Structure formats: C-alpha cells, structure tokens
Amino acid sequence: MSGGALRILQVGPGTTVQDGGRRGYLRYGVTAAGPMDPFALATANLALGRPRDAAVIEVSLSGLEVEAVGCGLTLAICGGAFDIRLGSTRLPSAVVLRLEPGTRLSIRASEIGAWAYVAVAGRIDLPAVLGSLSTHTRSGLGGLAGRGLVAGDSVPVVEADDSAVGLMAIHAPWLAQNAASIRVVLGPQDDYFAPEQIQAFLTQGWTLSSRSDRMAYGLTGVPLVHAKGHDIVSDGIAHGAIQIPGSGLPFVLMADRQPTGGYPKIATIISADLGRMAQLQAGAIVHFEVVPVADAVAARRRIEDGLAAKIALIPLIRTAFPSELLLGLNLISGVVDGQEPG
C-alpha cells in the first residue's frame, strides 16, 4: 500500500468528488448531495472491493483528463457510455485499469449517458463534512474545498493498492440505459391533479430541457393544469420526486435537491430507475409509466442482488499496443537457450 494522487489536467464544469451522500441532515436543511447515478457509483467501488458508498470522482458531460502522480493507481470507471482512453488506446466504458505515472487517462462524453464514476483502489483523502465527502457546490460543503474540480487540482489517494492488475471490462447489466420508459409511483400529491391530467402526464413524451443540473432536471411539453392550485405546505423531497410548479412543466428533483418544497409532486421515480433518468442528456424524450409499489421494491431488489454478488470482471485482449504501454510492461519473464536440449 502507498499514497499518491490523481492530478486534474483538463476538466469542465460539474465534475466533483461524491460518495454515498450526506445522510441524516435533511431535517436540518442540509442537502444530501451524493451521486446522480447511485448504482453506477456503487458498481465502480465494488469492482475494486471498496465499500459501495466510498468517495469517487463523478464526471459530468464536460469530461475529464487525469494522470497519476506519486504512484500507479488502479481505477474502475463506469456509468454512461463515455469515450475512455488510456494514452491513445480506447477502452470500454465500464472498465478496471491501471494508471501509471506519465500516462494520461481521458474520459469524454459520447451520445449516451451524462455521468461517469471514477473509483480508486485506495481511499480519497479529503476531510469529511458532516460525515461525508460529497460535494454540494451551492453551500460549499465537502469534496475539495466545497467546489467542483478544476485543472491543476490534485485529489490525494492513500492506502493505494500497488498490486498489478490487467485491463478488465465490468459486466453490470443493471446499468443498461435502454429503458423504454421511466417507472414511477404516483404521489404524494397526485390528488392535486384531475385524472385526465395524470393521464396526460403519463401519455405524452416529455423533452429533457437544457435547464437541468444536479439539483433538478427540467422537462418541456404540454403544461399540466392543477386542480387545487400549485402551492402546498412545504414538505420533504425525495430523490426522484416530480414537482409541478405554476408553469405546469415538471421538474425531477435530483441529488442536489432542496430538502423541502412547496409545489405538489405528481409522482416519484422508483429508486431502480434513478440512474436511468440521471443518464439522459438534454433533448432526450422521457415517458413515464406507473407501477405498483411492489414492482418498485422488486426492481430495487434485483439490482441489490446483482451488487451483492461479486462484480463480474472480464479480462480484455489488447488489439493495440502503443509504445507508452509497451514501455510500462515487463515483457520478458525468463530466457531460454534454444541450443540446449529439453
């Protein structure tokens, strides 16, 4: 075990340090933060044998380029179908790799997915705030000085695993992003909408707006009409709650949501589909499907069963060998004299 760091070479807005979230403080008005795609974060950590809620780097659509300093680092990356390159070699979008000093790792967005997670075989060594390393930029809590990562930052890593590791693809079918619809349970304020308005919510395709971030995803479409007005006594907001403000256009509350809100919530996305919702890009068409609570529980249990089993890692056979890779390998395991018998 040794210590080193991930040096940020290039990064755009929205990339932060996140762990499982700041739990137990919503009652005091403190946002939980945590991952936009909780199961992708858990998968990346578990692929390395780390606790599922350990701190990682959450990469936004703006991408990331890093290098290891001080020692080599073993990383696991998964989430959206990002373009991942180790040096000049393109890798699968869900992968375990070894990043040695002097080699660059780039993670760039593609047409599918909005968030990727970089876990490290070690521990990100930053101070916890209220029991969590999760960054909440609006309040300046957690992460690296309470802000997003910028070029020139170094994210310190201690207890880094210095054992050799080959390239391996991560097999995690629960991260598939091809859902035909996003499943919801109605409420808790679906009674603020007439039956035909609930039907309109469920039958039309909503477009994900560019007015979307870690706090909320805005949707555009034919506005809904409230039956009892658009104000309620403020109550708690769950991750995935769908508020309908006075405009009639839905907002899906995400990881950096406010702890309470005063607009009626027509439905709530089931936990098994939170990652699928988070991984949509602006312009995507969203359809919602109501399911019974029992189905929501069963869907979550299937994912938890997959996470509880050992994450499947598939060794990769290289088809390209850039010089920077070859120089970092021990290509000779012994010498044999071809003239000697036997």
pLDDT reading at 325 higher than 90: no
d(CA 31, CA 43): 23
Range with the poorest average pLDDT among 137-141, 174-178, 185-189? 174-178
Overall average pLDDT of the 164-176 stretch: 89
Mean pLDDT of the chain: 91
Label residue 212 by pLDDT band (50, 70, 90): very high
DSSP secondary structure string, 289-315? Answer: EE--HHHHHHHHHHHHHHHHSPPEEEE
What's the predicted TM-score (pTM) here? 0.90
Whole-number pLDDT of residue 318:
57
Q: Which domains are seen in the chain, by residue range?
A: 2-172+311-327 (no CATH), 182-303 (2.40.100.10)
d(CA 105, CA 72): 12
Contact 94, 119 (CB under 8 A): no
Class of residue 328 by CB neighbours under 10 A (exposed 0-12, middle 13-18, buried 19+): middle
Q: Which one, of 171, 108, 128, lies nearest residue 23 by Cα? A: 128
pLDDT reading at 310 higher than 70: yes
Instruction: Kindly report, residue by residue over 256-304, the tens digit of the pLDDT.
Output: 999 999 999 999 999 999 999 999 999 999 999 999 999 999 999 999 9
Report the percentage of the chain scoring pLDDT > 90.
85
Overall average pLDDT of the 27-31 stretch: 92
Contact 52, 20 (CB under 8 A): yes
Range with the poorest average pLDDT among 157-161, 196-200, 319-323? 319-323
More confident residue, 240 or 319: 240
Label residue 218 by pLDDT band (50, 70, 90): very high
Pairing of strands 216-220, 251-253: antiparallel
Instruction: Kindly report, residue by residue over 98-152, the tens digit of the pLDDT.
Output: 999 999 999 999 989 999 999 999 999 999 999 999 999 999 999 999 999 999 9
DSSP secondary structure string, 53-89? Answer: T--EEEE-TT-EEEEEESS-EEEEEEES--EEEETTE
Whole-number pLDDT of residue 1:
59
